[in-house]
Amino acid sequence: MTKTVLITGGNRGLGLETVKAMAKDGYKVLLGCRDLETGKEIASQQQGDIFAVKIDLSDSGELRKQAQDILTVHGGIDVLINNGAILTNGTISTASPEDFYQSMQVNLLAPFDLIQVILPHMIKRGYGRIVNVTSDWGSFADGLDGPLSYSVSKAALNALTLNMSSDLPNNVKVNSVNPGWLRTDMGGPSAPLAVEEGVETIKWLATLPDDGPNGGFFNQLKPIAW
């Protein structure tokens, strides 16, 4: 039976490359994006079983309704890749409250909302893979040395991964991934890695066998320190 994967922020950058990779592997791919018409246009240009779905990470109430509608229309979600995120600059002295609150909403609360809505269906179906895309800027081991709002929200997403992993049945897994510094709109043109290089570990975690890892943090197919 074909498995279904929902990828947030699937309309560009790392998200779009992940959409392409999962479709190539035979998955039914739900390309999550805020602008549905743009998402449909992008999906129509790709090869594979790809459907654009409206996912607005900025509003928890609407997001939960959207996730429930997607479950109803598409018959369930087997794999959730929480890729969508925003990056704002600033330190504790210069970051605006609005930027901090929005970063926490999009980078942390939205993945939490999606997981809470989708996880019961994964458990009922007896299969689930959740991949939270974070960053080395969200790693205590690396000093949390990125912009305040981004680093704190990604560290919190890592904490969510680790905390929830112990409450899952063996056939549902959650892991975090640091895809590396990639040449995307977010990473910029001077980043050392092509966007395709960031997809490999995401795809691996999204397709883990039942004896695969759970509750870990990974980069380039290897575990890394929180």
Known catalytic residues? 150
* CB of 159 closer than 8 Å to CB of 113: no
CB atoms within 10 A of CB 221: 10
Task: At 206, list the tokens.
Answer: 């999204």
Q: Do the beta carbons of residue 137 and residue 89 sit within 8 Å?
A: no
Q: How far apart (Å, rounded) are the C-alpha atoms in residues 136 and 148? A: 13
What lies within 8 Å, CB to CB, of 120 at 6+ separation is: none
Cα–Cα dist 128/122, whole Å:
5
Q: d(Cα 199, Cα 94) in Å, to the nearest integer?
A: 33
What six digits make up the tokens of 220?
């380039």
Bridge partners for 33 per DSSP: 54
Cβ(216)–Cβ(139) below 8 Å:
no
